[in-house]
Structure 1
């Protein structure tokens, strides 16, 4: 018996792990976007609350939590990509994960700025 069958199974398992890593990354991004959405919704629902800084602070906390989730998702997904060598599949790549995280994080940070600078009436 040669070991080629075992090697092929190992290669395929590594490919499945790479794909699972991308699905997990996407799941964490959805969670982060959920945090951002909760923050935005809180501000929209409670904008007339007094003092006015309270809903902004709570909304900011949720949006900041979204940024944290994006960052942790990127860190974990990139660590897996650096450890595992794909064989048949083409992964998104570290640069794509980094870019996605930065775009979402900058958008969320801009939302925080808008929460504090916008005049709600």
Structure 2
């Protein structure tokens, strides 16, 4: 007899719990992917000032930089929104995920770094 069955839980309940845990982990991995994409957009946007520093007209380089950093921030916001929705759904079923506070702090820090980078290269 398995541990779950000896504790009075059916195999179906155990499998549901495992599925919820897998869903929580998948949600965290998905947010990490959104974060990597956002970081890539921000990094390429900031690197554009070094790669294309002689680009004329100068405003075009600024539009490219601000556009890519802005896109990165939007991607991060979308990823946070998506994670927030799935985390709340999982919390209702009793599954715990990484705290929204930590995920939000990461998102704000990354977005803040992008904005500071734009200000520094402007």
Is TM > 0.5 for Structure 1 vs Structure 2?
Answer: yes
Alignment: residue pair count: 113
Structure-to-structure mapping, 1:29-108, within 5 angstroms: 29-85=35-91, 86-87=94-95, 91-108=97-114
Contact 1:31 1:69 in 2 (8 A): yes
What TM-score do the two structures reach when normalised by structure 2?
A: 0.85
TM-score by length of 1: 0.86
Runs of at least 4 residues off by over 2 Å: none
Alignment of 1:15-34 (within 5 A): 15-34=21-40
Alpha-carbon distance in structure 1 between the residues aligned to 2:11 and 2:27: 24
RMSD, aligned CA: 1.6
In structure 2, runs of 5+ residues without a counterpart are 1-7
2:13 matched to 1:7? Answer: yes
**DSSP-derived class of the 1:92 partner:** coil
